[in-house]
Amino acid sequence: MNIQDYKNILVYVEQREGIVQSVSLELLSKAKELASKSNQEVIAFLPGYQINDTHAKTCLEYGANTVYICNDELLKNYTTEPFTKVTTNLVNLIKPESMLFGATTIGRDLAPRVSARLHTGLTADCTSLDICEETQNLLMTRPAFGGNILATIICPNHRPQMTTVRPGVMTKNQEEISSSIKPIYLESNLKKDDLNIEILEIVKEKTVKKNIAEANILVSGGRGLGKKENLEILETLAGKLGGMVSGSRAIVDAGWIEQRYQVGQTGQTVRPEVYFACGISGAIQHLAGMEESEFIIAINKNPTAPIFDIADLGLVGDVNQIIPCLIDQLS
């Protein structure tokens, strides 16, 4: 492999039922930033069914210079083999230096398959990406050893350099464009034999509450609440503020709250405008999921709790006494 033959940053743009996923827009924005440091371009790849110029325009608005689209009815619903085949074919065609996937259920299934077929490495669940000025290698940073350290990984001898990035850790930057650039439509070259799994039925989970990653205000509870029943005061506060309740891994493991509401390394990464950390000490695994919040309010009985190191406002005291007082003030 001559790594000098590889250039540009390819972003796998994930769509579901024709809707481009937010994590892909985050990756396009980050790729544009990285490309500016290395004199490269950003290429977006959108496989699916009935994908059109409107989808391509969205990719261009978030940083892509070129958009490849692959339309095929066999790509209507995600299955591993067809998506792996069309993605691998494109990589072999355009030879990108780096390739980014979202660390979603689809990205975590697809990226390892593609990397194996290309005989290159894959760094999974990254929280930070950068370019080394001296070597131009992609610096891929992810939590390691249970989140106790951050490891920066490079892939100096193989291309493309591949990574999956956790949703919510990058910032979306949309720009108005007047460009008339048209997407490049590719033949899929898929056969029915490539569809080695038949999807019989897709059942969507019905949920009333939205995803915590979409909330502007999060009231998050930890072990310091003392017992499950004390979550009620967080629900009341969140209701007063128009926010949602979330929690640390400790109360998820204790069965106080569902895993979908967990913030942290093994939960979700969030960036609300206001984040209340109520009875949360601030383990590095939790901080990894919320430290980019706009304004952090920490409430903890321990004045030396690590959460105070990143808080914009800290209150030392019993959360079960402070929160009711705050609710009274808001009534």
Note whether residue 199 is domain-resident. Answer: no
Give the pLDDT of residue 130.
94
8 A C-beta contact, residue 11 and residue 28: yes
Tell me which residue of 84, 49, 88, 89 sits closest to 69, measured CA to CA: 49
Lowest-pLDDT range, 184-198, 203-217, 220-234? Answer: 203-217
- Conformation bin of residue 313: beta by default, left when phi > 0, alpha when psi is -120 to 50: beta
Note whether residue 182 is domain-resident. Answer: yes
Give the pLDDT of residue 148.
67
Q: Give 292-312 pLDDT, tens digit per residue.
A: 899 999 999 999 999 999 999
Number of structural domains (the chain) is: 2
Q: Domain range spanning residue 16?
A: 3-194
List C-alpha distances in Å: 187 to 25, 26, 36, 331: 24, 27, 30, 61
Q: Are residues 25 and 64 in the same domain?
A: yes
8 A C-beta contact, residue 99 and residue 91: yes
Give the pLDDT of residue 193.
81
Q: Are residues 122 and 217 in the same domain?
A: no
Q: Are residues 12 and 38 in the same domain?
A: yes
Residue type, 32: K
Q: Are residues 222 and 187 in the same domain?
A: no
pTM (global) more than 0.85: no
Q: Are residues 90 and 159 in the same domain?
A: yes
Phi then psi for residue 144, to 5 deg, are -140, 165
Q: What is the mean pLDDT of the chain?
A: 90
Give the pLDDT of residue 209.
59
User: CB burial class (10 A; 0-12, 13-18, 19+) of residue 145?
Assistant: exposed
Last residue of a domain, one of 159, 194, 229: 194
Q: What is the CATH classification number for the domain harbouring 96?
A: 3.40.50.620
Q: Are residues 75 and 127 in the same domain?
A: yes
pLDDT band at 206, cuts 50/70/90?
A: low
- How many other C-beta atoms lie within 10 A of the C-beta of residue 69? 21
- Conformation bin of residue 95: beta by default, left when phi > 0, alpha when psi is -120 to 50: left
Q: What is the CATH classification number for the domain harbouring 275?
A: 3.40.50.1220
8 A C-beta contact, residue 219 and residue 278: yes
Angle between helices 105-118 and 80-94 (to 10 degrees): 50
Q: Are residues 173 and 265 in the same domain?
A: no
Note whether residue 200 is domain-resident. Answer: no
- How many other C-beta atoms lie within 10 A of the C-beta of residue 238? 19
Last residue of a domain, one of 194, 221, 249: 194
* Cα(11)–Cα(111) distance, integer angstroms: 11
Note whether residue 201 is domain-resident. Answer: no
Last residue of a domain, one of 165, 194, 223: 194
Give the pLDDT of residue 2.
81
